[in-house]
């Protein structure tokens, strides 16, 4: 979707005359981007007056780390917003207060109807309400759970940041998904696999004796968007992370995160019990950490090793979340080495964790024997629906290949009603231009979550599978591959910060629109007037489609170089695009690999017919002649060229639009984004020209043009 051209000049013109919630210019607090969306700058005078009247004092009877963090965060935020001192009250007597705490702590101070509302909340749900009780007007932020109080506090802060009027305030909120996790692909040497924001945040060489202030800041950012679980290390797991010396380091990080309502998890190497000399080749440069000659999940010695390791971990980290496991793909050892199933491997590890309340998360990213890799996850896991332990999640990538720019949703969603499935998204833009591009992923994820599986008729969306509502499941999980690093901007650029934010907001509520998330984030991040923020939002909302168009339009996938997953190299990826003189595209219909057969009949019928298949997925499902006439009235070749050219022109337009915002936002932020857009312009041309020139060798158009 392109952003509307006609709106841009209107917004820019209006910006000269209209001043909205804040004055343009450099933030008094932070203009470098290091504060992300928690930059607490002053509100407009009218909002300052309104909010200060209802936020003069904070009463918080709790003394736990989580509640003290909530209280102190609220105090800091309000003082930044209203530019006046906020008192931490030791007494609940008075009015104009924010009452912050658990239901048990504040119940006696609340009117009965508010108590009843709070009692009905689940898990970490919270309420915020301004009430007049016994003649006094106060605002309550209440949850049954301390973490819920923290989340409610950040919601309250978000209302102030986004210019929401203080009254009337009556909000209840509950997370749609129980486990809202970030998966870090960080290595023990400080590098990050597919990390584009710097090196790892975790300083393993300094831990456990020294702690970096960024640990706390990272946890604070996560808590502000409701993330409650963190996997510290790469799924291509170094077994050493399970050694006693590293577990002591992990325990320090777990302590930092615990104060913000976050549980710590580890990626575990399936071959960890083995003696180093017996570890398969992929692991020899690391070696196993055990003394066994096998990792066979049905071997009693292996089972005992994992039980003892789990006990060791829980002694150090009582709230340890559990293990994430990658097995039988990309050289990682798994149960197939021993002619065992993924069911047997996952259940063995789940049994080791179960006595401690731990969770086993087993990735469905596996390599099978199919010529079409898209088939593999379904074929490997669907037969075992209902047989996995209750503390097992099968973590499934949003698409059946590998975080491609645009793929149809994985058919496992809506096909395993008796198994806990976790949706795995990638915040790091491995196949979307790394840190170079603007590409706002909220649009991509909303598209995925809103996809209809038809598992129980129309309306059976992926979001309903993930939040448990489709099949009545109480245990739910979503995971995002993190994009953080130790650079000043945390994520490689200010717009990549938006993807971290969007992931957290969608993990809490998968039904939020990308549009409203973008609007929230802009108000919390940029100090600018309303017309400027609307221009920025228009750019964001068109950026994902622009990227897809200038790289892999019409459902093309895997045109990237194997080495970097960044540059175009379609000549090395022919098995995915199948381009020849007869046409282009992968035949996954009933006449080809029959991947369409993994979907429910309603979708199967659509995807099996090129005339019914949405153009965005056309070449994913069909191998079609170059001269095929499409619904756009263009031939397939003409449409391909059109989309490549349109993607480039969209990026050009974004860059020109951004130039007009100079002076309307902080200078350093403007310059930083401008430099990225200049890079993206070059990147887009490289992709378009390479792909059109390559495919024209097969299409042999009479007049093939690659644009300017």
Q: Are 363 and 393 in contact (CB under 8 A)?
A: no
Supply 616's token pair: 């965005």
330 is catalytic: yes
Q: How far is the C-alpha of 159 from the C-alpha of 85, rounded, in Å?
A: 19
User: For the chain, first and last CA: distance in Å?
Assistant: 22
Q: Which of 351, 407, 430, 545 is catalytic?
A: 430
Pairing verdict, β 126-133 and 170-173: antiparallel
Q: What does residue 132 show for φ and ψ, rounded to 5 degrees?
A: -105, 115
Q: Provide the 3-class DSSP secondary structure of residue 596.
A: helix
639 is catalytic: no
248 is catalytic: no
Give residues with Cβ within 8 angstroms of 609, minimum separation 6: none
Q: What burial class does residue 5 get, using C-beta atoms within 10 Å of its C-beta: 0-12 exposed, 13-18 middle, 19+ buried? A: exposed
Supply 344's token pair: 């047997």
Q: Which of 206, 330, 668, 708 is catalytic?
A: 330
Pairing verdict, β 477-481 and 359-363: unpaired
How many DSSP H helices and E strands does the chain contain?
21, 14
Supply 177's token pair: 């998904």
Q: What burial class does residue 244 get, using C-beta atoms within 10 Å of its C-beta: 0-12 exposed, 13-18 middle, 19+ buried? A: exposed
Q: How far is the C-alpha of 601 from the C-alpha of 300, rounded, in Å?
A: 44
CB atoms within 10 A of CB 151: 26
Angle between helices 514-525 and 442-449 (to 10 degrees): 150
Q: List Cα–Cα distances, 415 to 166, 421, 594, in angstroms.
A: 45, 10, 16
- Partners of residue 363 on adjacent β-strands: 395
Q: Are 464 and 510 in contact (CB under 8 A)?
A: no
Q: Which of 193, 299, 319, 402 is catalytic?
A: 402
What sections of 126-263 are H helices per DSSP?
A: 146-161, 213-224, 244-258
So which residues are the catalytic ones? Answer: 330, 402, 430
């Amino acid at each position: 979707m392109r952003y509307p051209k006609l709106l841009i000049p209107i917004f820019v013109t209006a910006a000269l005359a209209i001043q909205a919630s804040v004055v343009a210019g450099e933030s008094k607090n932070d203009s470098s981007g290091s504060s992300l969306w928690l930059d607490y700058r002053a509100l407009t005078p009218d909002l300052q007056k309104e909010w200060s009247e209802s936020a003069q004092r904070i009463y918080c009877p709790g003394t736990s780390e989580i509640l003290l963090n909530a209280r102190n965060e609220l105090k800091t935020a309000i003082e930044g917003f209203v530019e006046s001192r906020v008192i931490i009250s030791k007494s609940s007597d008075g009015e104009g207060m924010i009452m912050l705490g658990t239901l048990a702590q504040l119940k006696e101070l609340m009117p009965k109807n508010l108590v009843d509302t709070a009692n009905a909340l689940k898990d970490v749900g919270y309420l915020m309400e301004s009430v007049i009780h016994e003649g006094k007007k106060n605002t309550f932020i209440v949850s049954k759970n301390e973490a819920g109080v923290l989340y409610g506090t950040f919601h309250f802060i978000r209302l102030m940041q986004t210019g929401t009027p203080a009254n009337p305030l009556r909000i209840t909120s509950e997370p749609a998904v129980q486990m809202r996790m970030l998966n870090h692909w960080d290595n023990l040497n400080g590098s990050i696999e597919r990390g584009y924001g710097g090196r790892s945040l975790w300083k393993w060489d300094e831990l456990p004796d020294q702690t970096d202030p960024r640990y706390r800041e990272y946890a604070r950012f996560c808590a502000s968007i409701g993330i409650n679980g963190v996997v510290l290390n790469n799924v291509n797991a170094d077994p050493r992370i399970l050694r006693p010396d590293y577990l002591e380091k992990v325990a320090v990080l777990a302590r930092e995160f615990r104060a913000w309502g976050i549980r710590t998890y580890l990626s575990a190497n399936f071959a960890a019990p083995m003696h180093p000399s017996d570890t398969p080749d992929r692991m020899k440069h690391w070696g196993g950490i055990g003394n066994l000659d096998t990792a066979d999940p049905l071997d009693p010695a292996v089972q005992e090793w994992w039980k003892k390791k789990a006990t060791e971990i829980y002694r150090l980290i009582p709230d340890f979340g559990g293990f994430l496991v990658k097995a039988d793909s990309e050289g990682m050892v798994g149960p197939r080495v021993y002619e065992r199933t993924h069911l047997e491997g996952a259940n063995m590890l789940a049994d080791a964790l179960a006595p401690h309340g731990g969770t086993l998360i087993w990735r469905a990213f596996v390599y099978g024997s199919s010529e079409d890799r898209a088939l593999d996850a379904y074929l490997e896991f669907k037969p075992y629906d209902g047989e996995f332990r209750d503390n097992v999640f099968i973590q499934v990538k949003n698409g059946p290949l590998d975080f491609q720019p645009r793929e149809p949703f994985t058919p496992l969603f809506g096909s395993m009603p008796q198994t806990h499935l976790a949706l795995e998204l990638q915040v790091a833009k491995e196949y979307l231009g790394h840190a170079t591009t603007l590409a706002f992923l909220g649009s991509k994820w909303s598209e995925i979550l809103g996809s209809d599986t038809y598992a129980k008729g129309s309306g059976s969306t992926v979001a309903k599978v993930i939040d448990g509502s489709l099949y009545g499941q109480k245990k739910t999980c979503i995971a995002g591959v993190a994009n953080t690093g130790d650079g000043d901007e945390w994520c490689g650029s200010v717009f990549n910060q938006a993807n971290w934010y969007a992931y957290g907001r969608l993990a809490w509520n998968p039904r939020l629109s990308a549009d409203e998330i973008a609007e929230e984030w802009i108000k919390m991040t940029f100090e600018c007037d309303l017309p400027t923020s609307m221009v920025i939002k228009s750019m964001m909302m068109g950026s994902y489609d622009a990227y897809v168009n200038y790289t892999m339009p019409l459902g093309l996938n895997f045109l990237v170089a194997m080495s970097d997953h960044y540059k175009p190299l379609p000549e090395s990826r022919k098995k995915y695009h199948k381009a020849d003189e007869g046409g282009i595209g992968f035949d996954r219909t009933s006449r080809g690999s029959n991947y369409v057969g993994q979907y429910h009949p309603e979708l199967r019928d659509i995807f099996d017919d090129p005339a019914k298949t949405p153009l965005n997925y056309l070449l994913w499902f069909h191998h079609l002649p170059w001269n095929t006439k499409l619904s756009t009235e263009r031939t397939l070749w003409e449409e391909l060229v059109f989309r490549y050219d349109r993607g480039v022109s969209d990026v050009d337009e974004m860059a020109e639009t951004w130039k007009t915002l100079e002076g309307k936002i902080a200078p350093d932020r403007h310059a930083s984004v401008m430099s990225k857009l200049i890079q993206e312009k070059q990147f887009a041309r490289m992709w378009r020209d390479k792909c059109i020139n390559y495919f024209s060798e097969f299409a042999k158009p009479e007049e093939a043009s690659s644009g300017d």
